[in-house]
A and B are shown apart, each in its own frame.
Chain A
């Protein structure tokens, strides 16, 4: 399913997955940790992302995550995903503002 990565100017890649224990969406951070907040995600260039992704996928079981993949973001602070789907993953279901990921610790 791997599509060729084509980033527009101003875009970077982040790595994301679901946590094995509770299924929650997490983002890969510098130093190899995973976080619920996309704001802490490591921003990768297209040429480095492939190697990092391969490494992170290999460590997924140890890190307790499943389904690791990369996705494009606007490289702002915090980074904002490009597609509606990834925006919803980053922020929570739009129909339940009270579940917004931003309000969680």
Chain B
């Protein structure tokens, strides 16, 4: 088999390990079914294997390391959706996929099917280092300085079954990007890493700690500005050790690293990490150029060849077809190769469920990836899908292919590109439903010409304070709250996940569900009425402050 373009190539050791792990889990499932294990005993074991018990059924969360898979893997996910679930899967903001209707007794078989394509569900839950996320344009974007996938893979190998970090105080999420334009929300992760080339050409890493959302949203603080590659693992190891030793275990809501960093201050945290580094045997953790090169060799490099007129062909096609032009405007990004382009495929059809894809669509995406992008697919942290290396002169054919399966929505980065968590329709922890409100908003702003007119505006919806829908980071955020058994939504404005990371400000009292969409429409109208040339929603908000928006939201007719 040839080496996949986008991700690390498994070998015998990886595959044997997965089989052993599945056999172990199958034994645990059997002991649960015959009553040898109680639910309390079984729960941490199933969570370690990505299996939750949700509202209506078991939910299996499958890891997609740094969000990249190949067409063979994607096709398998489609088959699993068809055979073991109800014909669809849900892509998440952590670049994973979730299946919502799984039977406990089927789980070992599903894990075996996943292992056939080098996939698993390990460390997608529980108090461990979760699947590492990375820039969805990794290895493709023109603005990239360092391809983060190689180091994301280093981190994957380092963190998988790390014996010391299997029982952390709480879950631990790491994201890495190699672009000056943060596309991973680095400052909202337990550890966020931004890579750039150092003076000698080898990468150096800027490291943020203690960011997070949830009930206590915190913007991560810079711990180190320039960690050298050879010390990357030692540094992370030391950060985790300090957290593992001092993070609170008495209160689940105060157990994340962000609480520890807030409690002692980032300077004290840095000193503790430096003290730990001072007594570590650094050679053991040294990341040598040879080790990095060996991992890099497990990634194939796509052969980027395009005809000289590829760009001219695309320009002409855009001129001829305004609908196609609109899609190219919102759904593509500049590739490092002038003959290629990055295409983002929206999983946010107007009125649809954000992040859901049917088995048929998943299969079709795999075919299109084979035809147009070296068989490689990326899942984004905004619940969309990326084909990273599309030849410019073939982009229109791809778009036509996407149109046939309802995947050509032109709304990336626009108001229709809503991020929503599963909410009360699926989630056992929810206060309110997130999906129906996303659907109503999607339908209200269905016209993509109107969306383009409104411009960059991100709406994020969470069904409870756990903030899986990143509502704190939305330009407009919605948080579901429960008032006497009824669904209400609290609105925030001004959140931002990227370079200018900011936590949204609450506008006022929560609104009843049936008034929420109108209130958001009034916010948008307020912006459209008062924006000055070229301003985005955030620009106008910054210039005017919250008051006009608050008035608009609470204006009663």
Binding site for B on A (CB under 8 A): 18, 20-25, 61-62, 66-67, 82-85, 88-89, 92-96, 99
Contacts and interface: CB of A to CB of B under 8 A. Distances in A.
A95 B435 contact: yes
A22 B430 CA distance: 21
Most buried by B among A20, A21, A25, A92: A20
Contact of A94 (B38, B39, B105, B436): B436
B312 interface: no
A99 B86 CA distance: 9
Most buried by B among A24, A66, A83, A89: A66
B425 interface: yes
A89 B55 contact: yes
B135 interface: no
Contacts of B523: none
B426 interface: yes
Contacts of B103: 21-23
Given A23-B57, A67-B39, A82 B353 contact: no
Contacts of B86: 96, 99
Contacts of A22: 57-58, 103-105
B56 A84 contact: no
B452 to A, nearest CB: 27
Interface in B1-56: 32-33, 35, 38-39, 53-56
Contacts of A96: 86, 425
Given A20-B32, A85-B430, A95 B55 contact: no
A25 B53 contact: no
A21 B39 contact: no
A20 B436 CA distance: 29
Given A61-B35, A84-B487, A23 B433 contact: no
A23 B485 contact: no
Nearest to A25: B56
Given A20-B104, A22-B104, A23-B104, A94 B55 contact: no
B486 interface: yes
Given A20-B33, A21-B104, A93 B56 contact: yes
Nearest to A18: B53
Interface of B: 32-33, 35, 38-39, 53-58, 86, 102-105, 353, 424-426, 430, 432-433, 435-436, 439, 482, 485-487
A82 to B, nearest CB: 6
A94 B425 contact: yes
Contacts of A21: 33, 103-105
Given A20-B32, A23-B102, A95 B39 contact: no
Nearest to A82: B485
Contacts of A84: 424, 432-433, 482, 485-487
- Give me the 4 closest cross-chain CB pairs, A-B, nearest first: A23-B57, A93-B425, A22-B103, A23-B58
Contact of A23 (B56, B430, B435, B486): B56
Given A84-B432, A84-B485, 8 more contacts: A23-B53, A23-B102, A84-B482, A84-B487, A92-B56, A94-B425, A95-B439, A96-B425
Nearest to B513: A84
Nearest to B352: A95
B353 A95 contact: yes
A24 B57 contact: yes
Contact of A95 (B57, B425, B432, B482): B425
A77 to B, nearest CB: 22
B499 to A, nearest CB: 34
Contacts of B435: 95
16 contacts: A18-B57, A20-B33, A20-B104, A21-B103, A23-B56, A23-B57, A82-B485, A84-B482, A84-B486, A88-B55, A89-B56, A92-B56, A93-B426, A94-B433, A95-B439, A96-B425
Contacts of A82: 485
A47 B134 CA distance: 55
A66 B41 CA distance: 13
Contacts of B430: 85
A8 to B, nearest CB: 11
A41 B86 CA distance: 26
Contacts of A85: 55, 424, 430, 485
Nearest to A62: B35
B288 to A, nearest CB: 46
Contacts of B58: 22-23
A2 B367 CA distance: 52
Contacts of A95: 353, 425, 433, 435-436, 439
A84 B485 CA distance: 6
A92 B35 CA distance: 28
A14 to B, nearest CB: 16
A24 B56 contact: yes
Most buried by B among A18, A21, A99: A18
A20 B34 CA distance: 11
A79 to B, nearest CB: 16
A99 to B, nearest CB: 7
Nearest to A65: B39
Contacts of B56: 23-25, 89, 92-93
A95 B424 CA distance: 10
Most buried by B among A62, A92, A93: A93
A25 B33 contact: no
A23 B54 contact: yes
A52 B103 CA distance: 28
Nearest to B59: A23
A67 B425 contact: no
B487 A67 contact: no
Given A22-B104, A99-B86, A66 B436 contact: no
A66 B53 contact: yes
B39 A66 contact: yes
Most buried by B among A22, A67, A84, A95: A95
A5 to B, nearest CB: 15
